[in-house]
Amino acid sequence: MRMDGASAYVVRRSRTRTGLTLALYSLLPVTAIVIGLQDLSVRFLFVILGVLFEVIFLATSRRRVSSAMRRELLFAIDEQGVYLGPDDFGRPAMREKWSNIDAIVYFQGRVWTTQNLPPTTRHVGIVHGGRIVMSRGRGGWWFNVRRASAAAARFGGGTPVLKAPFYGHISREWFHTIPLPPNWLATHAGSRAR
């Protein structure tokens, strides 16, 4: 993660973090290849499995590597509004203008993709009309609340940055909204203003 700009809050994909993640996940297949090469006549299966797993891993991580090499924009709060980049769940990048934003929220929840109980993931979203109308997973980057609040106050005319409640079911589709509890925004935005 890298933050650019003196006043805008910008987060880009980190090359270093992506490289370290790839190296960590490649450790097991590379170890299997090395073990197999020590005595190829007996352990040739290690080489085959190691190469197979490494090829599959590199093929599935191709998008993330290209994203890191381009320093893809993941999140931004600037004069144009709030930009939510693509996430690991396949949701597309979108930008929302300040006129359609009541608040920016960060929260934890579960994105259901299978029948199994998914892990809790961190998200950031945009509130409009008492609902979170857009959200993205924050896989691999940290949300700096203080800097985001400063940028939202400067560019969004005091738009609050709030912590929303936990959500047990978040759709991975970009067009599904998440309802907030009744009067939640008025209560929490008002308490931060005091």
Span 180-192, pLDDT tens digits? 988 898 888 775 5
Domain regions of the chain by residue span: 15-69, 72-193
Question: Would strands 2-3 and 161-163 be described as parallel, antiparallel, or unpaired?
Answer: unpaired
Tell me the pLDDT band of 104, cut-offs 50, 70 and 90: very high
Write down the pLDDT at residue 192: 53
Tell me the pLDDT band of 114, cut-offs 50, 70 and 90: low
Q: Specify the DSSP element, H or E, that contains 45.
A: helix 44-60
Greater confidence (107 vs 20) lies with: 107
Tell me the pLDDT band of 6, cut-offs 50, 70 and 90: very low
Mean pLDDT score across all residues of the chain: 83
CA-to-CA distance for 108 and 102, rounded, in angstroms?
A: 19
Most confident region among 18-27, 85-94, 175-184 by mean pLDDT: 175-184
In the block, which residue shows the tokens 């998008």? 63
Tell me the pLDDT band of 115, cut-offs 50, 70 and 90: low
Its pTM surpasses 0.85: no
